[in-house]
């Protein structure tokens, strides 16, 4: 009798959420995982975006910012403050994907002029304007906020230790049917809504960008990204992006000049050609790039044309099915709205949603609110049903059980507690646990403190709105909303899969 055991998996399995063609592409010998040819990192999570990202009074040339010897200053607005700051203490920033969206579609080139700025003080005593701005942040208590404190340099909380992510290629953290990499040759600093990507030393940066913009990557990212349940939208954070299979840039060398000529046309148009629509149609510039990539891999023109037709039609069938489902959902939502009802008329859910809206701005989302992007972590395999002991055991306090029954020694009870809290939030193995036991303990403590305070406040508000009999149910629903928001926010490089 076979000793193989059935291991259940969620319904959102990669075999169900992407076209069958995606699996075929991912197995090609001329495709590689993005993480093997490029560095991939999430944009900055500052812990206080309202302070570190400012708005200039007029668009600024990116190349004139961040120069150490700059004597020029500009008028900016920050957190409850307006004044002059040195250009040398500022960097151009890219904060929102909508900044790159136009009437024709998504721009290919990140603009070299911007009103959005990142505060990046030089290593010198703050000048008058900066000193005033730092004082405003200090009065607001920003230095004591967990992520700001973790990110700050020694004795200068306003100077973040993590290097800005201003890499050449900008990948969208979330995308619908289209997916591609924008050219950030201007070097704008990315925030957490974007994923930065740059070629490793031996890889051609230009050919990497071409590979990332092929339709093949639009397909294969569906295998690794997390479906959001909205119009075919997928979250593709750094862990998923690193696993995504792309055409190997090294194999594109024989057609380098022709490929780069097509990419120059993309720049001239300043437009990322749309992905295949539900009929399988694509813009000519996209087809030309895809054709050259296949020919560089050794296909003839005829073989390339046949494979592209297969690729586009497969994606079109998937897109058509998803769009049809979403269209029906929108019809149902409009019908509910027209009848004066909501998707859920459950009074428990309605009151819980109202309470969550009131409390959400004050609550930390864990572990992202405390875990800096550069924190060293271990990937830990643990069963989703695991729960840590209430009190630290006398022996083997740092040991937990993996899904296959093996013991995993995390070295400290603090790290075991954090694994428990991450599971309660909704993360699943492999969990990314900070190697720093003190940091792990702080996050677990913050979870417990936040939960206790949330339950107390939610119960009081629920009692006032719906009565004491149903207050406990409402409180549980509010706690679920907090955990769901924390799960969606991810944590450092950890992203809900």
pLDDT digits (tens, 9 = 90+) for 331-372: 766 665 665 555 545 678 888 888 888 888 788 888 988 876
The residue length of the chain stands at: 497
* Rounded average pLDDT over 421-428: 92
CB 235 within 8 A of CB 228: yes
pLDDT in tens, 447-479: 999 999 999 999 998 888 777 888 899 999 999
pLDDT in tens, 54-88: 999 999 999 999 888 777 899 999 878 999 999 99
Q: Which helix or strand (DSSP H or E) is residue 169 part of? A: strand 169-172
Predicted local confidence at residue 8, as pLDDT: 41
8-state DSSP, 64: G
How is residue 266 written in tokens?
């993309």
- pLDDT, the chain, mean: 87
Predicted local confidence at residue 342, as pLDDT: 55
Predicted local confidence at residue 117, as pLDDT: 96
How is residue 84 written in tokens?
């002059």
Distance CA 190, CA 196 (A): 7
Helix (H, G, I), strand (E, B) or coil at 158: strand
Inform me whether the pLDDT recorded for 9 exceeds 50: no
How far out from the chain centre does Cα 101 lie?
Answer: 18
Distance CA 493, CA 497 (A): 12
Sequence-distant (≥ 6) Cβ neighbours of residue 335 within 8 angstroms: none
Predicted local confidence at residue 379, as pLDDT: 87
* Closest to 267 measured CA to CA, from 115, 385, 111: 111
Helix (H, G, I), strand (E, B) or coil at 118: strand
Predicted local confidence at residue 358, as pLDDT: 80
Predicted local confidence at residue 230, as pLDDT: 65
Predicted local confidence at residue 334, as pLDDT: 66
Is the four-CA dihedral 429, 434, 437, 440 of positive or negative sign? negative
pLDDT in tens, 164-210: 999 999 999 888 888 999 999 999 999 989 999 999 999 999 999 99
Predicted local confidence at residue 135, as pLDDT: 93
Inform me whether the pLDDT recorded for 287 exceeds 50: yes
Distance CA 151, CA 149 (A): 5
- The pTM assigned to this predicted structure is 0.67
Predicted local confidence at residue 23, as pLDDT: 87
Predicted local confidence at residue 15, as pLDDT: 47
Inform me whether the pLDDT recorded for 485 exceeds 80: yes
pLDDT in tens, 94-146: 998 888 988 888 999 999 999 999 999 998 888 779 999 999 999 989 998 88
Across 4-8, 195-199, 396-400, the highest mean pLDDT is recorded for 195-199
Across 154-163, 359-368, 393-402, the highest mean pLDDT is recorded for 154-163
Predicted local confidence at residue 374, as pLDDT: 67
* Rounded average pLDDT over 261-271: 96
How far out from the chain centre does Cα 296 lie?
Answer: 32
* Rounded average pLDDT over 224-229: 78
Place of tokens 């019908």: 335
β-pair partners for 171? 195
Position 394 confidence tier, pLDDT thresholds 50, 70, 90: confident
How is residue 175 written in tokens?
């995308």
């Amino acid at each position: 009798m076979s000793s193989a055991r059935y291991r259940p998996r969620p319904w959102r399995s990669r075999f169900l959420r992407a076209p069958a063609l995606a699996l075929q592409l991912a197995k090609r010998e001329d495709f590689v995982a993005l993480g093997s040819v490029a560095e991939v990192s999430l944009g900055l999570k500052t812990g206080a975006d309202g302070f570190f990202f400012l708005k200039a009074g007029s668009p600024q040339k990116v190349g004139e910012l961040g120069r150490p010897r700059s004597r020029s200053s500009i008028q900016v607005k920050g957190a409850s403050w307006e004044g002059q700051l040195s250009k040398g203490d500022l960097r151009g920033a890219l904060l929102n994907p909508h900044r790159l969206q136009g009437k024709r579609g998504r721009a290919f080139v990140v603009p070299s002029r911007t009103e959005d700025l990142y505060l990046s003080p030089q290593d010198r005593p703050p000048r008058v304007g900066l000193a005033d701005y730092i004082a405003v942040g200090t009065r607001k208590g920003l230095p004591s906020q967990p992520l700001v404190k973790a990110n700050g340099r020694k004795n200068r909380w306003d100077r973040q230790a993590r290097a800005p992510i201003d890499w050449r290629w900008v990948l969208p953290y979330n995308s619908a049917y289209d997916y591609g990499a924008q050219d950030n040759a201007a070097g704008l600093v990315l925030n957490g809504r974007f994923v930065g990507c740059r070629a490793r030393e031996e890889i051609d940066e230009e050919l990497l960008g071409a590979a990332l913009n092929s339709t093949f990557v639009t397909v294969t990212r569906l295998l690794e990204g997390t479906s959001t349940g909205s119009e075919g939208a997928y979250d593709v954070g750094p862990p998923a992006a690193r696993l995504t299979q792309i055409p190997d840039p090294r194999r594109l060398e024989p057609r380098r000049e022709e490929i780069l000529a097509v990419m120059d046309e993309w720049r001239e148009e300043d437009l990322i050609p749309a992905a295949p629509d539900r009929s399988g149609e694509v813009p000519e510039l996209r087809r030309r790039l895809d054709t050259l990539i296949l020919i560089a891999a050794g296909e003839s023109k005829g073989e390339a044309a046949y494979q592209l037709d297969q690729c586009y039609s497969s994606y079109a069938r998937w897109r058509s099915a998803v769009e049809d489902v979403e269209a029906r959902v929108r019809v149902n939502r409009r019908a509910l709205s027209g009848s004066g009802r909501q998707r859920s008329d459950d009074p428990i859910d309605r009151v819980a949603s109202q309470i969550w809206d009131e409390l959400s701005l004050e609550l930390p989302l864990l572990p992202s609110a405390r875990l800096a992007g550069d924190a060293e972590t271990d990937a830990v395999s643990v069963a989703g049903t695991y729960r840590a002991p209430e009190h630290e055991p006398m022996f083997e306090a740092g040991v937990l059980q993996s899904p296959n029954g093996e013991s995993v020694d995390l070295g400290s009870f603090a790290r075991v507690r954090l694994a428990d809290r991450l599971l309660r939030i909704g993360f699943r193995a492999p969990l990314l646990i900070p190697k720093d036991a003190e940091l792990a303990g702080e996050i677990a403590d913050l979870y417990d403190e936040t939960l206790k305070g949330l339950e107390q406040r939610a119960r009081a508000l629920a009692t006032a709105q719906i009565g004491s009999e149903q207050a406990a149910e409402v409180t549980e629903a509010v706690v679920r909303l907090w955990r769901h928001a924390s799960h969606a926010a991810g944590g450092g490089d950890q992203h809900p899969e």
